[in-house]
Chains A and B, each alone.
Chain A
Amino acid sequence: MDPRRPPLPITAAAAVNALGRTTREVLDALDAGRSGLRPPTFDVPVTTLVGAIPGDLDALPAEYAAYDCRLARMAKLAYDEVHEEVVRARERWGRERVAIILGTSTGGLHATERAFFQWRSDGTVPADFDFHRQHDFNGLGELLGAMAGVDGPVYTLSTACSSSGKVMATAQRLIDADVIDAALVGGVDSLCRMTLQGFHGLGVLTDVACRPFSSERKGINIGEGAAFCLLEREEVSSAPSDVWVLGVGESSDAHHMSSPHPEGRGAAEAMSRAMAQGGVGPDGIDHINAHGTSTLLNDAAESIAIHSLFGDRVPVVSTKGYTGHLLGAAGGTEAIFAMHAVRSNRVPRSLGVEPKDPSVAIDVQDVPRDQPVRRVLSNSFAFGGSNVSVLIGERP
């Protein structure tokens, strides 16, 4: 069991996804209850909606051309928003004391798909395909490290859909161990054919917008996006932080590779561990951003887990109906939605929940609710039974 850990201030954050190309656009769409799900604009032989970043993505500057791919372009769009704060942290703590810890599920697979299909067609791979900088799961970390000018540890967690929740725990431990003083953490994943056709093969991809916790839910939509948070050992005295990471709980289901434990045992353990680490009990939680993928099994297991700890007292929201399931970027993105809930004292609506599944005994929000939001649990659960719950809240 993890011990109590000092809370870490979030000193900068940014997210881009189907809701917008800037954090402001993303949060405005969330507040407006506006979904970003649309039919795919690329060639894929399944009928579904996806959460794609709107518009074209700029190529990387020439000095980083070897890293240029859709994943890197998305990441740079979000990273540009936090760059100044990362540089400030670098100057504050030193180049070697700032880490880059990212989460991804498929990394640069989008670039590898293009290379593979060309190879199958004519036996060559594109001249601009750089496996080590584009496909490699850590290529993006290296790119961000170079753009940030930091020399601390750079590595990538890839535990499927829990990846960018677990990066927060890694940052906690690296800071606790006095290896670093600050970390840029987050998650990035881009849409690609293998993911869409893989989930189609599993029979869980819906052809309409997903409806988490609804009796009419038919499955998931896949999305893409990038989200970053800058975590530091101490807040900046001239700009006190209003939102902190208070705890992170990790667990394993030990049940099945692609289905959750039916009673949500691992999910409940992750939430309990996050609360224990943050020194709060269920009464201290004001809102839960659920994993809420909109599959029958996932929603059932998670609602049982939440009910076992909180009953129907805590307002629960899944934001998958806005962005689609961002896979390795889900945890980081939803942590930023949790931050926004704390800052705005507002629980967003969970799109498409009505009519709610009568077997779901938790309080899923169909309308936005203005209320005090001091602490939020943000859940992410993954293939392999990997679970993480991040406790985000106001200044402890």
Chain B
Amino acid sequence: MIAVNGIGFWAPGFAGLGAFRAGEADRDLTMPKCEVVTARARRGTSRIGRMLAEVTTQAAADASVDLGAVPTVYASAWGEIDIMINLLGQIADGDVGLSPLRFKHSVHNSASGMVSIAAGNRTFSTALAAGRKTFEQGVLEALTYLTTTDADHVILAVAEDRLPAPLDRFGEYEALAVAFCFGTDAREGAHGTLSFPKRTGEPFRPDLPELYAENPTAFALPVLDALANPEGAEGLALSAAPRPFAIDVLSAEQSRTEP
């Protein structure tokens, strides 16, 4: 069993999971606070970098794990595409040398660097992409790390910002970031547990909210729903790779009574 000991959430209008579940949108909220990173270190960073840092910090705090020591997996299909397009705009404008501040944050692992530097974390961290299956493959990377190393926790942070022009013609959706702090044991206040890997059952993919449906991070939303209401969530299928793998989502109470 894998415990979900912490959750982080951010989307435009919603500073956390509580506000999102309550449907209480703040129309003025367009950028995460990202207070873990100093104002100076945030210079040149993108919104998605700050979204990833924000939800990672939330998940660590929710699980009461040390952000300076926990392994981290960052997942995004298109990552720092906003900075890439900004830099291409500089080239089109005739700039020869590009902004060093923007260039160094154009890498897919920018958030990994930001958080590890801010928190002094020298352990394992990675960043991945897998198109529409980015969330599922992120789960796979995080859980295989947790189950084959001595680590007792790992944080998976997954996020996608809107695609900038001219790439917005290839997908329109709202930005979204979610993080899970997975642990080998359920802590007080755990959100629930997952079985991993479980290879039975037919894939079951719940409908996604229309606003986020084309956002690869949206596949985290059914997992959040299942954690909040585990009744009937057994066999929730994550379609990692062409072959799906399934996870059972149980409440923390249910998991303690499992044989």
- Interface residue B61 (Cβ < 8 Å from any Cβ of A): no
Known contacts A151-B243, A200-B98; is A117 also within 8 Å of B88 by CB?
Answer: yes
- Interface residue B19 (Cβ < 8 Å from any Cβ of A): no
When each residue 194-206 of chain A gets 1 if its CB lies under 8 Å from chain B and 0 otherwise, what string results?
1001111111000
Residues of A within 8 A of B147 (CB): 177
Q: Contact between A155 and B242 (Cβ–Cβ < 8 Å)?
A: no
Number of B residues, CB within 8 Å of A = 66
Binding stretch for chain B, among A54-62, A135-143, A290-298: A135-143
Q: How far is the CB of B170 from chain A (nearest CB, A)?
A: 4
A365–B78 CA distance with the chains assembled, in angstroms: 41
Q: Contact between B107 and A179 (Cβ–Cβ < 8 Å)?
A: no
Pick the contact of A252 from B97, B112, B245 — CB < 8 Å?
A: B112
Q: How far is the CB of A207 from chain B (nearest CB, A)?
A: 13
Enumerate A112-126 residues with CB–CB distance to B below 8 Å.
112-113, 115-117, 119-120, 125
- Interface residue B125 (Cβ < 8 Å from any Cβ of A): yes
When each residue 124-163 of chain B gets 1 if its CB lies under 8 Å from chain A and 0 otherwise, what string results?
1111111101100100110111011110000000000000
When each residue 178-219 of chain A gets 1 if its CB lies under 8 Å from chain B and 0 otherwise, what string results?
010000000000000110011111110000000000000000
Q: Contact between A254 and B121 (Cβ–Cβ < 8 Å)?
A: yes
Residues of A within 8 A of B165 (CB): 119
Residues of B within 8 A of A203 (CB): 97, 100
Residues of A within 8 A of B166 (CB): 115-116, 119, 125
A137–B141 CA distance with the chains assembled, in angstroms: 16
Residues of A within 8 A of B143 (CB): 177
Pick the contact of B128 from A145, A155, A269 — CB < 8 Å?
A: A155
Interface of B is mostly: mixed
- Interface residue A321 (Cβ < 8 Å from any Cβ of B): no
Q: Contact between B100 and A202 (Cβ–Cβ < 8 Å)?
A: yes
Residues of B within 8 A of A257 (CB): 104-105, 110, 113-114, 117
Q: Contact between A194 and B98 (Cβ–Cβ < 8 Å)?
A: yes
Closest residue of chain B to A146 (Cβ to Cβ) is: B242
Known contacts A179-B144, A197-B95, A200-B97; is A159 also within 8 Å of B127 by CB?
Answer: yes
- Interface residue A235 (Cβ < 8 Å from any Cβ of B): no
Pick the contact of B130 from A105, A112, A120, A155 — CB < 8 Å?
A: A155
A82–B88 CA distance with the chains assembled, in angstroms: 35
Q: Contact between B87 and A198 (Cβ–Cβ < 8 Å)?
A: yes
Number of A residues, CB within 8 Å of B = 72
A145–B242 CA distance with the chains assembled, in angstroms: 10
- Interface residue B257 (Cβ < 8 Å from any Cβ of A): no
Q: Contact between A155 and B144 (Cβ–Cβ < 8 Å)?
A: no
Closest residue of chain B to A388 (Cβ to Cβ) is: B126
A152–B136 CA distance with the chains assembled, in angstroms: 13
Q: Contact between A173 and B148 (Cβ–Cβ < 8 Å)?
A: yes
Q: How far is the CB of B124 from chain A (nearest CB, A)?
A: 5
Closest residue of chain B to A124 (Cβ to Cβ) is: B166
A125–B134 CA distance with the chains assembled, in angstroms: 26
A152–B137 CA distance with the chains assembled, in angstroms: 11
- Interface residue B217 (Cβ < 8 Å from any Cβ of A): no
- Interface residue A258 (Cβ < 8 Å from any Cβ of B): yes
Pick the contact of B96 from A200, A254, A255 — CB < 8 Å?
A: A200
Residues of B within 8 A of A239 (CB): none
- Interface residue A156 (Cβ < 8 Å from any Cβ of B): yes
A203–B100 CA distance with the chains assembled, in angstroms: 9
Residues of A within 8 A of B148 (CB): 3, 172-173, 176-177
- Interface residue A345 (Cβ < 8 Å from any Cβ of B): no
- Interface residue B17 (Cβ < 8 Å from any Cβ of A): no
Q: Contact between A155 and B137 (Cβ–Cβ < 8 Å)?
A: yes
Residues of A within 8 A of B127 (CB): 157-159
- Interface residue A383 (Cβ < 8 Å from any Cβ of B): yes
Q: Contact between A255 and B117 (Cβ–Cβ < 8 Å)?
A: yes
Q: Contact between B241 and A137 (Cβ–Cβ < 8 Å)?
A: no
Q: Contact between B92 and A117 (Cβ–Cβ < 8 Å)?
A: yes
Residues of A within 8 A of B170 (CB): 131-132
- Interface residue B109 (Cβ < 8 Å from any Cβ of A): yes
Q: Contact between A201 and B140 (Cβ–Cβ < 8 Å)?
A: no
- Interface residue B77 (Cβ < 8 Å from any Cβ of A): yes
Closest residue of chain A to B124 (Cβ to Cβ) is: A250
- Interface residue B120 (Cβ < 8 Å from any Cβ of A): yes
A240–B38 CA distance with the chains assembled, in angstroms: 53
- Interface residue B106 (Cβ < 8 Å from any Cβ of A): yes
- Interface residue B50 (Cβ < 8 Å from any Cβ of A): no
Residues of B within 8 A of A154 (CB): 130, 133, 137, 241-242
- Interface residue A391 (Cβ < 8 Å from any Cβ of B): no
- Interface residue A368 (Cβ < 8 Å from any Cβ of B): no
Known contacts A194-B87, A383-B113, A386-B109; is A176 also within 8 Å of B144 by CB?
Answer: yes
Question: Could you write out 11 A-B pairs with CB less than 8 Å apart?
Answer: A46-B97, A113-B88, A136-B78, A151-B243, A156-B130, A173-B145, A201-B97, A201-B98, A201-B99, A256-B117, A384-B113
Closest 7 CB pairs of A and B: A384-B113, A158-B108, A201-B97, A198-B103, A137-B129, A155-B130, A131-B170
Contacts A105-B107, A116-B89, A201-B98 known; 13 new A-B pairs at CB < 8 A? A113-B91, A117-B88, A120-B89, A131-B167, A151-B242, A153-B137, A156-B130, A197-B87, A200-B97, A202-B103, A252-B116, A253-B122, A384-B112
